Structure 1
Amino acid sequence: MSEGPRGVVIRPATCDDHDAIWTILEPVYRAGETYCIPTDITRDEALADWFAAPFSAFVAEVDGRVLGASHVGRNRPGPASHVANASFATHPDARGKGIAKAMVAHAKDWARDQGFRAMQFNFVVSTNADAVHSWEKAGFQIVGRLPGAFLHPSQGYVDALVMYQDLTA
């Protein structure tokens, strides 16, 4: 368990967190604006995906309330297994409370502790300006652009970004 900015506590997620995690993931997935997840995904499918190997799931709490969820793990197997990947989601009540900042800092520290040499976000929707800004602020660089790779529900085909950070520096 680690404590981030402004009392944000990051800890491993358990089955007891499923309801809280679904409360966070459901509106994000239903909106269809940021994740490559079917908007009609069921609760059980979403949680199975979030907790699936090779990822380790975590929650971010403030005053005992789960306000964020993350999962971190190997991006690809074999010769690329030294590069981590992660996903993050925050509760709408969590805006501006340092939740995303704490979760990404935790993910990078966790990945380093597990022996990962880098972290890559494979598919950051370019219209998700808050995420792009947060990840750049956390030291990630845009290393690739996939033109028109994401079908946004209101903006049509938009670019997806590949973001990367060396964790050995």
Structure 2
Amino acid sequence: MEMRDAVAEDWPKIWPFLRDIVRAGETYTWPTDVTEDVARGMWMAQARPYRTVVAVENNGDGDEVLGTAKFGPNHLGPGSHIANASFMVSPAHGGKGVGRALGRHVLDQARADGFRSMQFNAVVSTNTAAVNLWRSLGFEIIATLPEGFRHATKGYVDLHIMFRSLEA
């Protein structure tokens, strides 16, 4: 598995699983009917300090995108030293360590880019795989927004705000 910055040619490989994850209405605070053009604009970074990365494997016919992440400043101006990130792993490659590898890569890159910490604004409490992964990578839940997410099948569930320092 290789981590690299995403390029425009990766989008057609990202969109099918991104679309399905968002449409499921279980983990992302995006509109479930997001169009491809809007999603591309929201996911694919245009310029630094924002980045979009992909985890890929060469399958003989070029790179297969296993997962992707985007990150950059969580706030502007005096708050721009805190990064934010979002992750999506293709369900076809779930349980293979793609999310963990993306998480480590993003943390390392954010640190190298000069960010002092990282905050996730909306981790759905019922997404226990993500909560457990982020905890194992040093994040802690610093706040919970009661019933902050309308889950497609479970109704209103909590959203966690998670945080970790990137300083040594």
Give the TM-score taking structure 2 as reference length: 0.93
2:28 — aligned with what? 35
| Structure 1 residue 65, shift from structure 2 partner | 1.3
- Are 2:165 and 1:166 equivalent residues in the alignment? yes
How is 1:67-146 mapped onto 2 (pairs within 5 angstroms)?
A: 67-146=66-145
| Structure 1 residue 52, shift from structure 2 partner | 4.3
Distance 1:164 1:110 in 2: 16
| Structure 1 residue 96, shift from structure 2 partner | 1.8
User: Structure 1, unaligned stretches of length 5 or more?
Assistant: 1-7
Q: Deviations over 1:85-114 (max 9, x none)?
A: 000000111112110011010110110011
1:24 — aligned with what? 17
Secondary structure, in 3 states, of the residue corresponding to 1:127? Answer: coil
1:5 — aligned with what? none
**In angstroms, what is the RMSD of aligned CA positions?**
1.1
Distance 1:23 1:60 in 2: 15
| Structure 1 residue 10, shift from structure 2 partner | 0.7
Secondary structure, in 3 states, of the residue corresponding to 1:107? Answer: helix
User: Structure 2, unaligned stretches of length 5 or more?
Assistant: none
Match of 1:11 among 4, 14, 20: 4
- Are 2:53 and 1:61 equivalent residues in the alignment? no
| Structure 1 residue 24, shift from structure 2 partner | 2.0
| Structure 1 residue 143, shift from structure 2 partner | 0.6
The answer (yes or no) to whether the contact 2:57–2:64 under 8 Å persists in 1 is yes
Secondary structure, in 3 states, of the residue corresponding to 1:160? Answer: strand
Secondary structure, in 3 states, of the residue corresponding to 2:87? Answer: strand
Secondary structure, in 3 states, of the residue corresponding to 2:20? Answer: helix
Distance 1:32 1:39 in 2: 6
Question: Which amino acid is the alignment partner of residue 93 of structure 2?
Answer: A
Say if 1:69 and 1:167 are closer, same or farther in 2 by CA, change over 3 A: same
Give the TM-score taking structure 1 as reference length: 0.92
The answer (yes or no) to whether the contact 1:24–1:69 under 8 Å persists in 2 is no
| Structure 1 residue 154, shift from structure 2 partner | 1.0
The answer (yes or no) to whether the contact 2:45–2:70 under 8 Å persists in 1 is no
The answer (yes or no) to whether the contact 2:120–2:161 under 8 Å persists in 1 is yes
Question: Which amino acid is the alignment partner of residue 163 of structure 1?
Answer: M
| Structure 1 residue 129, shift from structure 2 partner | 0.7
Question: Which amino acid is the alignment partner of residue 49 of structure 1?
Answer: M
Distance 2:94 2:32 in 1: 22
